[in-house]
Structure 1
Amino acid sequence: MSENKKIAQEIIDAVGGPDNIQSVAHCATRLRIMVIDKDQIEQETVENINKVKGAFFNSGQYQVILGTGTVNRIHEEVEKMGLSSSTKAEQSKEAAKKGNFLQRSIRTLGDVFVPIIPVLVATGLFMGLRGLVMQEQILAIFGLTPDDISANFLLFTEILTDTAFIFLPALVAWSTFRVFGGTPIIGLVLGLMLVSPALPNAWGVATGADPLLFFGFIPVVGYQGAVLPAFIAGILGAKLERNIRRRVPEALDLIVTPFLTLLIMIGAALFVIGPVFHTVEEYILHGTLAVLGMPFGIAGILIGFLNQIIVITGVHHIFNLLEIQLLENFGSNPYNAIVTASVAAQGGAALAVGLKTKSKKLKALALPSSFSAFLGITEPAIFGVNLRYITPFIMGLIGGGAGGFVAAITGIEGTGMAITVIPGTLLYLNGQILLYILVNLVAISVAFVLTWLFGFSDKKLKENVHA
């Protein structure tokens, strides 16, 4: 029996066997198991299985952390055992039925925005590369100045950096329709209508252009870059489409359902939903800026310290909306640098544990987990190492606060979102790279030193029943 097959079998046995499993899926780092009775799970047994970096029950799923690459191979072995396999999206729909209203709402928000993040990551990287290329010092290496850059080249870079945000409502409406059971292509077209070139451009109106006036008093503009109007329109549009489809004869469904859905929803979106929720969006943005603008680096300390606690609760996807708003309105994201500090610090704490312990198993777990955190994925470090022994996690939180403080007082701002620590360097190539490195070094160093001095000793191995 291969090692991966043996591990898969041990995991299945430890969660109650095949009869206790509804379905199995996986994401980038975790095997996600929908169990019938979570009381049958043998937590200690699971945590002691080779290659398992931690396990916990969350969002209606039992999530076993295996790490990038490994999880794919283990999932393949599980499938060979004949267990029911499902996609992460299918499991999310099933899990969405569980938990309180707030948990379900935030899970839904994550389901809508997570699929959009890759294109926003790419856009952020394009912004960072453009910032690097356009620096006078870089151009001087090739004997050029900013005046030597052709207008056509600048136009090309604008296509790369602006397109995703210009059509952001289309992306949001498409994803929202998908999550709420509507037809995604109808959502996409509805979102495109919100940014139709026939409407006055939102950014143009913001700088003095006149909106269209309907009925003499309702101002109508395009919603380039808007998130909430498209999100709310997507929810209502998907529900409306399903209601219409139930009432329309099957022979007329292809014609009548999309026609009525788009007709009703574009009227509602332009005249009611757009004006109301764009105002709400502005208040959220101003509130976010007020927090980030707190004096003496207070925002950096608070966010840097609390971020990984929020990650554990699983409600961190709510901040995707705030980061998208920051990027859409200002082309930069100060939140990213602070979050990076919190991620790097957990890696620093896990690194200290790995270097200090004499346990070969813990060393083999902690060192790769710290490297995973330096690549922006903290689950192996948090659940596999730091939370097990409590104090390394706390020292990581303190390191995150320290790094967040440096990020806040230096005012560095990323050109994108969703990538941190080493990959995140690509978001700071516009003259901020040294400050970004400083933020990470402070976070890692503080967490490492505190963990080494006060946060961990091998005595904890004997005290911790899961060691």
Structure 2
Amino acid sequence: MSENNKIAKELVEAVGGKENIASVAHCATRLRIMVVDKDKIDQPKVESVDKVKGAFYNSGQYQVIFGTGTVNRIYEEVTKLGLESSTKDELKKEAGKSGNWFQRAIRTFGDVFVPIIPALVATGLFMGVRGLVMQEQILGLFGLSPADISDNFLLFTEILTDTAFIFLPALVAWSTFRVFGGNPIIGLVLGLMLVSPALPNAWAVAGGDVTPIMFMGFIPVVGYQGSVLPAFIAGIVGAKLEKWIRKRVPEALDLILTPFLTLLIMSTLALFVIGPIFHSLEEVILNVTVSVLSWPLGLSGLLIGALNQVIVVTGVHHVFNLLEIQLLERFGNNPYNAIITCSVAAQGGAALAVGLKTKSKKLKALALPSSFSAFLGITEPAIFGVNLRYMKPFIMGLIGGGAGGFLASIFGLKASGMAITVIPGTLLFLNGQILLYILVNLVAIAVAFVLTWMFGYSDKQLEQTNEA
């Protein structure tokens, strides 16, 4: 019997046996298990299984953290035991039926926006690289000045940095149709209609150079470049309308009538009803966000930095994707990222303190890699595998996140993108802020590390949980 086969058998037994497992899938780091009865899960036994870095029940799934590479091998051994496998999307669909309406709504929100994030990450990195190469000190190394940079080169960089935001409604409508069961291509076309060059450009209207088209004398109609909510709501309504129409038209006419009627009705609703209403709501949300981030004396950084990882534990953090997208679209920067990176780094600092202080080889082998994972921007192994298990390290991590966030707010740090933090996040601060970015992260790590070392952990806690 191989080591991984033994781990798979012990895990299945700890989860309640084969009869308690409906299906199993995996993502990059976690084994995702749909269980029949979550009360049959023996949590301490699961956490004692070799190579398990943490386990928790969330989003209708029991998720066991193994880490990149290892999870693939464990998944293979689990499926060899005769358990039903499923794709991650199928598992999500099944899990989506569980939980209260708020939990389901948040999961759906995440399913829509998470696939879009890689494009926005790339855009943010392009902004960071442009900010770096356009600095006088950098150009000076090659005997150049900003005046020597050609207009054609600047135009090329604008293509890299602006395209995703210009066509953001198309990306959002495409993803929303996909999640809500509509034809994603119809969603894509509907989103493109919202940014049609035939409409007054939203940015030109905001700058006062162009006036909106007034429909019926009082409804302002503009393009929705960079907007999110109008496309999101139009995508939900459009997907449901498409399915409703498809059920009622003859099969022979489905190919013609369904997309025709869907686009005709939805383009009218999106431009004249949904767009104006939800664009106004979007403005309110953005103004509130900017107001909070502008609180004096670093209060916003202190609170957000301290509470961010609590929100991550609840699983509703995807809601803030909307805010980050709007900040980037409107201002070209993202102060929210500069704060939350401190909360991520601090959890890594707390886990690092546990790993260096404990004499338990098993806990050391879990905590040290988990802390490094957090420094790469992924806190789940550190939070669920170490810090939350003993609680005090998690709290010390929250304090460290608040300290770093406070400084980030005081210094006015602003990222050029979103979704990457700590070490990878340095690429978003190449516009002259890199030293301050490193400083706030080091402060967050140091505060969490020192507090955890002094007050947050001792091996007595390990003995009390019988894990030594």
TM-score class, shorter: over 0.9
TM-score (norm 2): 0.98
Query: Is it true that 1:296 corresponds to 2:297 in the alignment?
Result: yes
What SS does the aligned partner of 2:389 have? coil
Q: Aligned partners of 1:112, 1:287: CA distance in 2, in Å?
A: 23
Q: Given residue 447 of structure 1, which amino acid in structure 2 is its aligned partner?
A: A
Q: Could you say which residue in structure 1 is the equivalent of 2:212?
A: 211
Q: Could you say which residue in structure 2 is the equivalent of 1:446?
A: 447
Deviation at 1:11, TM superposition (A): 1.3
Are 1:389 and 1:464, in contact at CA under 8 Å, matched by a contact in 2? no
Q: Could you say which residue in structure 1 is the equivalent of 2:252?
A: 251
Q: Could you say which residue in structure 1 is the equivalent of 2:368?
A: 367
Deviates more, 1:179-188 or 1:211-220: 211-220
Are 1:176 and 1:187, in contact at CA under 8 Å, matched by a contact in 2? yes
Q: Could you say which residue in structure 2 is the equivalent of 1:81?
A: 81
Query: Is it true that 1:173 corresponds to 2:210 in the alignment?
Result: no
1:329-382 CA-to-partner distances (Å, cap 9, x unmatched) read 111100001110000000000101111111111111111110000001111111
Q: Could you say which residue in structure 2 is the equivalent of 1:57?
A: 57
Q: Aligned partners of 1:137, 1:69: CA distance in 2, in Å?
A: 42
Q: Aligned partners of 1:9, 1:166: CA distance in 2, in Å?
A: 51
Deviation at 1:464, TM superposition (A): 2.3
Deviation at 1:465, TM superposition (A): 4.3
Q: Aligned partners of 1:192, 1:248: CA distance in 2, in Å?
A: 26
Are 1:123 and 1:164, in contact at CA under 8 Å, matched by a contact in 2? yes
What SS does the aligned partner of 2:390 have? coil
What SS does the aligned partner of 1:440 have? helix
Q: Could you say which residue in structure 1 is the equivalent of 2:133?
A: 133
Q: CA RMSD in A?
A: 1.0
1:370-415 CA-to-partner distances (Å, cap 9, x unmatched) read 0000001111111111111111111000000000001000000111
Deviation at 1:13, TM superposition (A): 1.8
Q: Could you say which residue in structure 2 is the equivalent of 1:417?
A: 418
Deviation at 1:85, TM superposition (A): 1.8
What SS does the aligned partner of 1:358 have? coil
Deviates more, 1:415-424 or 1:88-97: 88-97
**Unaligned stretches of 5+ in structure 2?**
none
Are 1:176 and 1:235, in contact at CA under 8 Å, matched by a contact in 2? yes
Q: Aligned partners of 2:316, 2:22: CA distance in 1, in Å?
A: 24
Are 1:15 and 1:40, in contact at CA under 8 Å, matched by a contact in 2? yes
What SS does the aligned partner of 1:317 have? helix
Q: Aligned partners of 2:204, 2:82: CA distance in 1, in Å?
A: 58
Deviation at 1:6, TM superposition (A): 2.0
What SS does the aligned partner of 1:23 have? strand
Deviates more, 1:88-97 or 1:411-420: 88-97
1:224-245 CA-to-partner distances (Å, cap 9, x unmatched) read 0000000000000000000000
Q: Could you say which residue in structure 2 is the equivalent of 1:115?
A: 115
Are 1:388 and 1:464, in contact at CA under 8 Å, matched by a contact in 2? no
Deviates more, 1:123-132 or 1:77-86: 77-86
Query: Is it true that 1:72 corresponds to 2:72 in the alignment?
Result: yes
What SS does the aligned partner of 1:25 have? strand
Deviation at 1:84, TM superposition (A): 1.9
Are 1:388 and 1:466, in contact at CA under 8 Å, matched by a contact in 2? no
Q: Could you say which residue in structure 1 is the equivalent of 2:164?
A: 164
Q: Aligned partners of 2:304, 2:171: CA distance in 1, in Å?
A: 28
Q: Aligned partners of 2:124, 2:213: CA distance in 1, in Å?
A: 32
Q: Aligned partners of 2:462, 2:154: CA distance in 1, in Å?
A: 58
TM-score (norm 1): 0.98
Are 1:47 and 1:466, in contact at CA under 8 Å, matched by a contact in 2? no
1:302-349 CA-to-partner distances (Å, cap 9, x unmatched) read 011111111111111111111111111111100001110000000000
Q: Aligned partners of 1:134, 1:400: CA distance in 2, in Å?
A: 32
Q: Given residue 342 of structure 1, which amino acid in structure 2 is its aligned partner?
A: S
Q: Could you say which residue in structure 2 is the equivalent of 1:330?
A: 331
Deviates more, 1:204-213 or 1:432-441: 204-213
Deviates more, 1:80-89 or 1:58-67: 80-89
Q: Could you say which residue in structure 2 is the equivalent of 1:25?
A: 25
Deviates more, 1:63-72 or 1:274-283: 63-72
Q: Aligned partners of 1:50, 1:112: CA distance in 2, in Å?
A: 35
**Unaligned stretches of 5+ in structure 1?**
none
Are 1:25 and 1:32, in contact at CA under 8 Å, matched by a contact in 2? yes
1:428-463 CA-to-partner distances (Å, cap 9, x unmatched) read 011110010001000000000001111111111112
Q: Aligned partners of 1:163, 1:120: CA distance in 2, in Å?
A: 10
